[in-house]
Each structure stands twice: as C-alpha cells, then as structure tokens.
A and B are shown apart, each in its own frame.
Chain A
Amino acid sequence: MIKKLGALFFLLSIILPGLISAQQTKFDIANEYLTDREYRQALSIYHEIAAEDYHSGALWLNMGIAYTRLDSLGKAKFYFLKAKNYPETGDLASESLIYIEDRLSRRSAVLPPLPWQQFLDWQAESFGIRGLVITALFLFIMASGFFIGSWFYREKSTLLLRTGTGTLLFSLFFFTCSLIIHYQNQRFGTGVVVERQNQFYSSPDPESATISTAYEGYQLSVDYKMSEDYEDWFYIRTENGQYGWIPRDAVMVF
C-alpha cells in the first residue's frame, strides 16, 4: 500500500508540473509574439490557453494590451476589466482602463449607483465573497462563545448576552451581504460592447423600438436570467440606467 502511494505521488510530481508548465510555455511564446508586435499570433495563443480553462491576471492583461495595439478598444477594455479582478494585475489593469477610457471615442454617461449598491460594490472589491463569508463565520463563532459564556458566567451574563447578540447581528449582516453579492454575480454579468456601435431595442427583435445606441467600450450589466430564453439577445442595463435588448454578438460578457 505504501509502495503504491509512493508510486502515485512520484507520478503526480512528474506530471502535474509538466501540465502547469505547458500553459506557462505557451504564455511565454505568446509574450514573445506580443513583444515583436505580432499581435494576432499572440492573441491566438492566449485564446488557446483560455480555451484550456487556465486563467491568470497576466493572461487577461496581455490580451488587453494586444487588443489595444490592434485598436480593438472594446475587447481591450473587456480583458482589462477581467485582469482587474486579480490581485497581481489589479493595479496595472486599472491604469490601463483609464488609458482605454481616454482613447474611446464615445463614452456613456454614468448614473451613480445607489448607496447600498455602492456599499456592496465596495465590499465585493475589498473583501470578496469569500472574505465576507469568513468574516461572517468568525463573528458567528464569537457570538456563540458570548452566548455560551452568558449562560454559565452569570455575573457578566447581560454584558455577554448583549455582546453576543451584537456580534450575531454583524455576522448575519456580512452573511446577507455575501449572499446578495453572490446572487448578483450569478444573475448579472459585466458586458462590454465590442462592435463599433450597436443599437439596443425595447424587445428582442430588431424591428422593435430602438432605445438608444451603445458604442464600443460601453460597459453594460447583463441580466442572465432575463436573457436565458433568448439565444441571440442579452437583456442589458447601461451605465446611464437604460434597459434594453442587444444582440449577443455585439457584447462580450464575464
């Protein structure tokens, strides 16, 4: 048994680094293409890596740079937004996004989000869902301790009970926030218009009334639940608060 486990460990120690380094090797080759201004070849390899379900902040950032070089600013913005979610590339991606926004010929008016949505966005950005859940669990354990203490340490019973109740409420608050953020992440995606311009409509039909025009680089909120019955359309909300339907081909979503 020990021999078998040893053999398995040995095999894995040989195969796993090889599998991981395969992505890295491709990534290095693509980076060379990128440095040599062979943007299309570079992108072809980057897409190949992504298709194998590997991702990293560096991959998305370099894809954004390649698309910037090709002047496909909508796609560039899309990949920079993705890279922004990774700690190792978050700052670089943010700087790149400022640069892209400056180069976009048309920019959407942005309706400020409601305060509670701002607070949720801040939490999601600062802690992430995992961080919020861990905080909620930690507070929940603390609250349990306070409650147990209040039952047996009768002299400080009231203080412990109140502290426990407060901690429990905080725990529930953070847990509720994480649930809302998780729901929003599941239901809504972030989309970027990648075509030069595209109209969006009041219903999923090009013959229906036009709401407005979305230009390349416009950031959208895509409602997956509303869109699930339509193969070729996304139900979207623009940054200026307009709702409508846009052809799926015009938007990239994550």
Chain B
Amino acid sequence: MIKIGKPVPVIIGFLLLLFGFTHEAVSQDLSVEATVSETKIFIGEQFSLSVSVESSSQHSLDLPQIPNFNGARVISGTPSRSTRTSIINGRTTRSTTYTYTLLAERKGNFTIPSIAVRVDGETRQTNSIPIEIIEKGNLSSEGESQLPDIFVRVEVDEERPVVGQQIVASIVLYFKQNIEVTSFQPSFGWRTDGFWKEELENISQPRAESTILNGVRYRKATLLRYALFPSRSGELSLSEYGLTAGIRSQVNRNDPFGSFFGSGTNQRRVTLNSEQIDLTIRQLPPRDNALWMNAVGDFTIERTLNTSEIRSGDSIELITTIKGAGNIPLINRPNYSLPDAFDQFNPRESSDVGRRGLTIQGSKTFTELLVSRAPGTYEIPEERIAVYNPSSRRYNYKTLPAISFEVLPAPAQLAGSGGAQSFSLQPVTGLATWYSGEPKPFYNTLWFWIFLTLPIIAMAIAYWKKHQTDKLLSDRDYQRSHYSYQTAKERLHEARNHFTENNTKQVYHKLHKAITGFISDKLALPEAGLSDRELIQAVEGRSINGEITAPLKHLLDKCNTISYAPVGSKDDISDDIEKTEKLINDLKKKL
C-alpha cells in the first residue's frame, strides 16, 4: 500500500487557494467607471453623467448615489439604466450603465467627485471628472455666422516641419448638435504637391465627440488621417480637401456617445471643402561628413553580408536594413564605396511599412548584388551614416563597421567568360619598345622645313636661269651685253697671238676692236658706224670719272695713230695689252 500522507488538510488548503485565486480574478475583472457627455458645458445646459460597471460575471448592484458638488445639480434622482452583454472571442462581458441628467448652474471649473458604487456589498469608487462651465453667447453673432453648420477641416500636428519629417494631417468633420452624419465619401484629387503621402489605418469607425467653436457646441469626428513627408524646403500647400457627406437633421440627444452613423429620415447630401493649408518646410540642419540616405526619424541601421567567402564569378549580397519610425518610403539606397572588382547590379529594395497608429513605421531593406571577377581579400569600408531625428532635432550618426570577405579563384579561371568568343589574353613580356614623351608635330621638325624649302629654292634658281636664257634668245642687245666681256676677252687673246707673231698693226687693231666692241655691246650701241669720240661721249654720259676716260682716250688714239707712228718696243706693246685688259675690267664694273 502506498502512503499518501494526510489527505484532508491538503484538500482544504487546495480549495482555499482556489477560492483565493478566483476571488482575486473576479476583483481584477470588475471595473467601475464614470463619464460625462461633455466636459465643457454652457450655463443652463443639460449634460449626462454615466456610471458603468463592467464585468465578465453577474453581480448585485446598488443604485449609485451622486454626491453633491458645486456647479451643477442632478435633475432626476432616478437614473436611466441600461445593460449590455457582449461576447468577443468566447469571452463574455456584461456592462450595466446608470445615466443621470445634470444641469449646469454656475460658471467655473469644477470636479464631479468620486462616486461610490456597491457591488456585491462591496464599495467601489469611480474616478473623479473635471468639468468646465462657461457662459453661453458671449461671442458676437457675426463670429457665430462665420462657421457653417457643417464643415471639414484639415488639421496638421506640425506646421513647421523639416524636410522628410512626418506630419499627420487629420481630416476632421465638424457639425452642429442637430445634425447627424450618416455617411461620407472623400473626393479625389487632394493635391499634396511636395509631399509623400501615406494614409494611416488607425481609424476603424469614426466617433463623434463634443467640442465648442466660437461659443457654439459642435460635434467633431476625425474621418481620416494621412502621414505626410515634405520632400523639399520652402512654402508648401495642402490643397482643399473635398468631401461629400450624407446628413440628417435629427439628433438622438439621448445618446451623445452613440454611433456616428445614425438612422432616420430627411437625408440629404452636402459637398464640403476644407481650406487650403500653407506650411513652412524648414531645411535640414547641416550635418557632419557622413553618408546621407534621406532618413528622417528614429531608425536603427544594420549592414551584413550573406556570406564571407565566395568563388570568383559568384555573387555576394550586401544587405542593409533600416528599421524604425519615420520616412521609410523615402529612404534612399546607401551609396557605399565598393571595391572596383565587382559588377554591381541594380539593388533589390523591399520594405515593410506599417500604417497603423499615428506614425509610419517598419523596415526597408536594400540588397546590393555584387558579382566578383577577381580573387583576393576585399573589404567594404566602414561607413558613417547620418539619420536626422526630428524629436531631438539632432542628427544621430551610426557607424557601420567594415566588412571583409574572401574571393577564391574559380576553377580554371581565366579572363574569358567561357562563351563562344572565349579568348585567352596573354600579356606581353620581355623587352618592350619604349617611347618617351609625345612625338613633335611635323611642322615643329627641322627635316620638314628643309625638304619643304629645298625644292622651292631650286625652282627659284631654275626659274631665274630660264628667264635669263629666254632673254638671251630673244633680246639681241641683252645678248650683246651679256657676252660683251667674253667677246672682249677673245679679242684680247687674238691681240696677244698677233703680239707673239710680231704683227704690231693687228695687235692694235684687235685692241681697238676689243675696246669699242665692249663699249658698244655693253651700252647697246650700234655695232658699226660710231666714231671713237661718240663712244667716249657715251661712256662719259654714264657719269664715269676721268680715271677711266683718260686711258680710254689714250688707248683709242694710240690704236688709231699706230699705222703712222714708229713701231714701239715689245714692252710698250705688251704694256698696252695689259692696259687695255685693265680698262675693259674697269669698264665692266662701271657700265
């Protein structure tokens, strides 16, 4: 037999423990709450005070007693009572609400004190509620008339954001107490130029709440919310927001917290437009030297590689993940300094954007696909990334550490891709032919100018020679002049021959011919018929001084008179030949 100890005390203890837990659970499950229909009330206006008891099980309730307090009084001591039972996910909730009607009596700020509620004989206390009672109608009728019975407004939570900062634009519908909105339909074409717009998903069903505008009680309901991200600085505008609403003039006054969409008759549709909103978008403040991805918000950034070792030709993924709240849709791809030896393909970009609540939050991932071509050890260098946090109005700098990885040679790797045009590039080794500097332009070289000018010079000389030849052939005077000296020399030579033969008369005859022939040829005078005097005059007419004309006269006279004079010595004749030669040379220089 197995002994189990003393069973009775154990069972009692277990039951007590179970009761204690159950009691504690019930206590925690029960809630008592007091609410008012409006917290800002006109003097003389009625408003409701509700006391609700909510629990998952049934309880015995006593009628709550409203204590006296300043500013308002309870009109009816017997409240209306309503009960509600709901089952959500298998959990049953029972709610009992007592609603009292109160009348505001005095102006001022007051507090509805905590209300005692007896539940199953146990006293529970509600929360106290501050209320403000104000005078009605102290605004001018003109001020009241400025606001229509129903209108729509775009309300932004920040009027001077920086570029990229999220602002929330709420589409709020205001309508008077006697109007009930049954439906609404936003118009298309709300222009938000200069903004990135995302619709927030926080409003499942709009609920109306009471408010006072220009001394008039209105109800207001936030219909839609948008997250807007300005993309540039300066003055930007949100255009009029258009809305079509179905309204009814009946109001269920007994249920100020009732459904926004009521039921009834006399329904009509109205088209509403908000006013344009002008915003001043500030520039981002200057930042330190860091990579800028256009990230404005509260973000964390991580950067990883999908592997640390690949084969040449394989791809590696560099993954950058940005998480947090802010302008996620507007964040740009980080422009890293990557090693040259990689093909970069268009990066993949994925984002998971959450639109619930009042902020855009989520994550964005950039996957850079790098294909290696050369083996080696590579490092993606450290990067410092700047993120602007509009809450703190400062940049947060995140340093992404350097990442190293190894690229191993691919089997039988050569530069070729292995395709049909595969070609093995072989480097040139050994002695190379070296050149230094750039070659001079051809027109800066000596050989060019030499070979260019030589033919020109040759042609110039040849042309001159041709011209001379042509003249000799065509111009008799020029020909005589050109050959005059040569003819004179020949005659002198003949004179010398006669001298050796002792033929004195022929010597002087040839000397005379040499002189007169030279002068007449040189001066283009007639070849015959001129006297010596005329020749001398022609020479004198060329401004030749007496040093030449004197020996000329002397020699010509001697040549003419030698037939009648006694024959001179051989020395005299030789001397005359030399004098004649000298005279002809002098005349050649002067004529």
Chain B hits for A89, CB < 8 A: 428
Say if the beta carbon of B375 comes within 8 Å of chain A: yes
Chain B hits for A151, CB < 8 A: 462-463, 465-466
| Residue interface mask B400-420, A partner, CB < 8 A = 1 | 000000000100000111010
User: Contact partner of B451 among A56, A65, A137, CB < 8 A?
Assistant: A137
- CB of A69 within 8 A of CB of B434, answer no
Compute how far the CA of A147 lies from the CA of B455 in the bound complex, rounded to whole angstroms: 10
- Of A1-9, A97-105, A114-122, A239-247, the stretch lying at the interface with chain B is A97-105
Say if the beta carbon of B569 comes within 8 Å of chain A: no
Chain B hits for A230, CB < 8 A: none
User: Contact partner of A65 among B415, B435, B455, CB < 8 A?
Assistant: B415
Say if the beta carbon of B90 comes within 8 Å of chain A: no
- CB of A31 within 8 A of CB of B441, answer no
| Residue interface mask A177-202, B partner, CB < 8 A = 1 | 01000100000000000001000000
Compute how far the CA of A23 lies from the CA of B431 in the bound complex, rounded to whole angstroms: 10
Chain A 91-144 residues near chain B, CB threshold 8 A: 92, 95-96, 98-99, 102-103, 129-130, 133, 137, 140-141, 143-144
Quote the shortest CB–CB distance from B310 to chain A (angstroms): 14
Compute how far the CA of A129 lies from the CA of B454 in the bound complex, rounded to whole angstroms: 21
Quote the shortest CB–CB distance from A208 to chain B (angstroms): 20
Quote the shortest CB–CB distance from A72 to chain B (angstroms): 6
Quote the shortest CB–CB distance from A48 to chain B (angstroms): 14
Secondary structure of the A contact surface, majority rule: helix
Compute how far the CA of A61 lies from the CA of B433 in the bound complex, rounded to whole angstroms: 13
Given A71-B374, A141-B455, A144-B455: A53 touches B425 (CB 8 Å cut-off): no
- CB of B466 within 8 A of CB of A24, answer no
Chain B hits for A88, CB < 8 A: 433
- CB of A56 within 8 A of CB of B434, answer yes
Given A58-B432, A69-B415: A37 touches B425 (CB 8 Å cut-off): no
Chain A 51-79 residues near chain B, CB threshold 8 A: 53-59, 61-62, 64-65, 68-72
| Residue interface mask A7-44, B partner, CB < 8 A = 1 | 00000000000001001100110010011010110000
Say if the beta carbon of B373 comes within 8 Å of chain A: yes
- CB of A148 within 8 A of CB of B374, answer no
Say if the beta carbon of B244 comes within 8 Å of chain A: no
Compute how far the CA of A92 lies from the CA of B428 in the bound complex, rounded to whole angstroms: 9
Given A53-B437, A99-B425, A103-B417: A37 touches B409 (CB 8 Å cut-off): yes
Chain A hits for B564, CB < 8 A: none
- Of B164-172, B176-184, B340-348, B523-531, the stretch lying at the interface with chain A is B340-348
Chain A hits for B426, CB < 8 A: 65
- CB of A57 within 8 A of CB of B421, answer no
- CB of A141 within 8 A of CB of B434, answer no
- CB of B374 within 8 A of CB of A70, answer yes
- CB of B462 within 8 A of CB of A148, answer yes
Say if the beta carbon of B14 comes within 8 Å of chain A: no
Compute how far the CA of A113 lies from the CA of B528 in the bound complex, rounded to whole angstroms: 79
- CB of B373 within 8 A of CB of A71, answer yes
Query: Closest residue of chain A to B427, judged by CB?
Result: A62
- CB of A140 within 8 A of CB of B452, answer yes
- CB of A95 within 8 A of CB of B466, answer no
Given A69-B373, A141-B451, A151-B466: A178 touches B442 (CB 8 Å cut-off): yes
Query: Closest residue of chain B to A19, judged by CB?
Result: B436
User: Contact partner of B415 among A35, A68, A95, CB < 8 A?
Assistant: A68
- CB of B452 within 8 A of CB of A137, answer yes
Query: Closest residue of chain A to B452, judged by CB?
Result: A137
Chain A hits for B416, CB < 8 A: 99
Q: Which 6 A-B residue pairs are closest in the complex by CB-CB distance?
A: A71-B373, A144-B455, A58-B428, A58-B432, A151-B466, A102-B421
Known: A143-B455, A182-B442; 10 extra A-B contacts, CB below 8 A, are A28-B429, A35-B429, A62-B427, A69-B374, A71-B373, A72-B341, A99-B421, A99-B425, A140-B455, A144-B459
Interface residues of A (CB under 8 A from B): 20, 23-24, 27-28, 31, 34-35, 37, 39-40, 53-59, 61-62, 64-65, 68-72, 86, 88-89, 92, 95-96, 98-99, 102-103, 129-130, 133, 137, 140-141, 143-145, 147-148, 151-152, 178, 182, 196
Can you name 29 A-B residue pairings with CB atoms under 8 Å? A24-B432, A27-B432, A31-B427, A35-B429, A55-B435, A55-B436, A56-B432, A58-B433, A65-B426, A68-B425, A69-B415, A88-B433, A89-B428, A95-B423, A130-B442, A133-B448, A137-B448, A137-B451, A140-B452, A141-B454, A144-B458, A147-B462, A148-B459, A151-B462, A151-B465, A151-B466, A152-B462, A152-B465, A182-B442
